[in-house]
Amino acid sequence: MTASVTQEAGRLPGTWSIGLRRVQIELLQFSRDREAAFFTMLLPVLLLVVFGSAFTGDVAPGVPFSQYFLAGMLASGIVYTSFQNLAISIPQERDDGTLKRLQGTPMPSAAYFLGKVGLVLVIYVVQVVVMMAIGVTLFGVHLPSTAADWWTFTWVSVLGLVCCTMLGIAFSSVPRSGRGASALVSPIVLVLQFTSGVFFQFDELPHWMQQMAALFPLKWLCQGMRSVFLPDSFQRQELAGSWELGRTALVLTVWSLAAVVLALRYFRFRRRDDN
Amino acid sequence: MLGAVTLDGTAVSVRGLLKRYGERTAVAGVDLEIPRGEVFALLGPNGAGKTTTVEILEGYRSRDGGEVSVLGVDPAHATRPWRSRVGIVLQSVTDLSELTVAETVRHFAGYYPSPRDPDEVIATVGLSDSADQRARLLSGGQRRRLDVALGILGRPELLFLDEPTTGFDPAARRLFWDLVEDLAHEGTTILLTTHYLDEAERLADRVGVIAAGRIVEVASPAALGGRQHAEATVSWTDPDGSRRSLRTAEPTRAVSELAATFAGEIPDLAVTRPTLEDVYLAMVGAQ
């Protein structure tokens, strides 16, 4: 009995248990970081309210713009909470010594990434609930009514989060400093939002822009979300004349795999000038 | 418990350590041997290779040559069990700013197999009154003590302290020294780097001076540079008001001879030997 207790006390905590502690501490830090809270949580909500109030027309007979815009903002929410959040916060943590400190402890690297994944998941869920609530109460948006639509919503969200989390981790090695990170990352997200049909109707954009946007995940996330929030009759206005859900899954999977390879190859715990 | 079994022996062993950054050789063949239980201070000017050497020992940096063993393990292949036996207090980090002292220490305790009690550690470093304060609001000295709390949390056999008291006021420095001495009494091996020679003199069993990537000398603070055998300087003021001094290997005789020439007290009498700073500056200046 005593012997087993001693042995228990001397064993290194497992990766999952440390990962869970990382999720808690990440959430605590996030909740106290005003800048991150604004860019990741408040901004999309603000955009939803502003755009929802400014554009009140219909995108198709019986389909208000707010219905279209909520789909785009939920897709954007995936990018905000995962890609933008991590591509900005990880360089900052590299600069302020968080990563160096962690590297000097027995914390397994995987636990750090588990913490990030947990953080992304929780803030995405909160964001979805807030945006849907605003959409329904303020702008009369109809939430999906079939199990099939909710299933699509779930897998598009999960695959999108996986893809953009990996991309955020990989991209975190690009900014030279934590301070420069948001100046580099925010415009990328903004341009993709404009070209992927978040702010404007995708089918009204120039052809070359549509082609370019189709290379990146956000366009497919938007399309997946539209399939959930817009009536199936709207499919005719899509470029391919259909929701292309199979292709969406394929594109997101390919991007995820590429991002994993890039993250494994380029992720750095240390600043460039620190070795 | 594990430490007690292997208490005798070597904590750090370095032979022919080499590190280059491009064309520049930062560490040019450092040899170092630190027995367990010792407090060892590594002194040297900026750019001498001090931090590079220490960061190689901490497993942060790769090396270009030489053999390194820290607690019996090559830090180039640092494992989680090894990390749990080593405590690191880094220079100037500003992370964790939005967490309180207690939240931070409790969180990090979860990384170690048998951590100290978080509240006890907070008390040990003298932060009990600031336990619920966010790290951002701590003073420089308090912030550093939080770093030390995290460094000693896992009951390390070896603790690295990289310039731990830079920016401290004198009172905070004294408190910090007491803390380090307590850790040393508990048997923790400590490798300290510092720019403060009084700190090295107070804390270290031995000091090593590094300059231009090489260890110039390793000795006790009292014996470094042959200090204990160095000639003493006897100085006093003559009746005409002029300041006089003489260097001698026999200061006692010099003083008694001097006493005979004065009626009573010798005005402004002082007998000094070279300070650690004097011998240190001579050493690194000669490089």
- CA pair distance B280, B226, nearest whole angstrom: 11
Nearest CB neighbour to B98, from listed A11, A21, A29 = A29
Residue A173, both tokens: 């090695």
Q: Would the CB atoms of A10 and B1 count as touching at under 8 Å?
A: yes
Give the pLDDT confidence score for residue A188 in this predicted structure.
92
pLDDT computed for residue A6 by the predictor: 38
Least confidently predicted of A71-75, A205-209, A220-224, B108-112: A205-209
- Residue B21: closest CA among chain A residues belongs to which residue? A275
Q: Which residues of B touch A93 (CB under 8 A)?
A: 95
CATH number of B2-85+156-221: 3.40.50.300
- Pick from B2, B94, B111: CB nearest A105: B111
Q: Which residues of B touch A12 (CB under 8 A)?
A: 80-81, 84, 112-113
Longest dimension (CA), chain A: 74
Sequence ranges of the domains in chain B: 2-85+156-221, 99-152, 230-275
* A24 alpha carbon, distance to own chain's centre: 19
The reply to whether residue A10 touches residue B113, judged by beta carbons under 8 angstroms, is yes
Instruction: List the single residue in B59, B84, B92 with the smallest CB-CB distance to A12.
Output: B84
Which residues from A are below 8 Å from B84, CB to CB? 12, 106
Distances (CA, A) of A200 to A59, A156, A197, A222, B91: 10, 21, 5, 11, 50
Q: What is the pLDDT of residues A48-89, one digit of tens each?
A: 899 888 888 888 777 888 888 999 999 999 999 999 999 999
Q: Which residues in chain A have Cβ-Cβ distances shorter than 8 Å to B111? A: 13, 18, 105-107
**Listed residue (A142, A150, A157) closest to A67, CA to CA:** A142
Q: Is residue A24 part of a domain?
A: yes
What is the model's pLDDT at position B286? 55
In a domain, A5, yes or no: no
Q: Tell me which residue has tokens 């979300």.
A: A225
A110 inside domain? yes
Closest alpha carbon to A267 in A174, A160, A164, A161: A174
Rounded Cα distance between B105 and A25, Å, is: 11
Quote the pLDDT of residue A275.
Answer: 58
Q: Does any CB of chain B come closer than 8 Å to the CB of residue A270?
A: yes
Percentage, residues of chain A above pLDDT 90: 58
- Is residue A92 within 8 Å of A30, Cβ to Cβ? no
| Contact between A73 and A67 (Cβ < 8 Å) | no
Look at residue B96 in the predicted model and tell me its pLDDT: 83
Residue A23 lies in a domain: yes
Is A2 or B251 the better-scoring residue by pLDDT? Answer: B251
For A114-131, how does the pLDDT look when each residue is reduced to its tens digit (9 = 90+)?
999 999 999 999 999 999
- CB nearest A32 (choices: B58, B98, B113): B98
Query: Which residues are within 8 A (CB) of A242 and not within 5 positions of it... i.e. 6 or more apart?
Result: A235
CB contact under 8 A, A106 and B154: yes
Cβ A25–B107 below 8 Å, yes or no? Answer: yes
pLDDT of residue B281: 84
Vertex A66: Cα angle to A63 and A71 (nearest 5): 95
Tokens at residue B48, please? 């001498």
pLDDT at B5: 42
Question: Would the CB atoms of B94 and A100 count as touching at under 8 Å?
Answer: no
Total structural domains within chain A: 1
Angle between helices A85-95 and A178-195 (to 10 degrees): 170
- How much is the pLDDT for A119? 95
Of A123, A111, A112, whose CA–CA distance to A31 is shortest?
Answer: A123
Closest CA–CA distance from residue B130 to any residue of chain A (Å): 18
Question: Cα distance from A111 to chain B (closest Cα, Å)?
Answer: 10
The segments of chain B whose pLDDT lies below 70 read 1-8, 286-287
Contact B95 A275 (CB under 8 A): no
Nearest-Cα distance to chain A for B179, in Å, is: 21
- The amino acid occupying position A264 is L
| pLDDT for res A160 | 96
pTM score, whole prediction: 0.86
Show Cβ contacts of residue B113 under 8 Å, excluding neighbours closer than 6 positions: A9, A10, A11, A12, A13, A106, B84, B154
Q: What are phi and psi of A173, to 5 degrees?
A: -85, -10
- Nearest Cα residue to B142 out of A46, B134, B55, A212: B134
Chain B contacts to A (CB-CB under 8 A): 1-2, 58-62, 80-81, 83-84, 86, 88, 90, 92-99, 103, 107-108, 110-114, 134, 150, 154
**Is the CB of residue B179 less than 8 Å from the CB of residue B125?**
yes
Tell me which residues of chain A, numbers 3 to 42, contact chain B at a CB-CB cutoff of 8 Å.
6, 9-13, 17-18, 21, 24-25, 28-29, 32-33
Top pLDDT among B226 and A107 is at A107
The kind and range of the H/E element at B233 are strand B232-237
A197 pLDDT above the threshold of 70: yes
Contact B14/B32 with Cβ under 8 angstroms?
yes
Residue span of the structural domain in which A54 resides: 13-266
* A 65-94 residues with CB < 8 A to B: 93
- Does residue A271 fall inside a structural domain? no
Residue A39 falls within a domain, yes or no? Answer: yes
**Higher-confidence position of B164 and A102:** A102
User: Given an 8 Å threshold on Cβ–Cβ distance, is A275 in contact with B62?
Assistant: yes
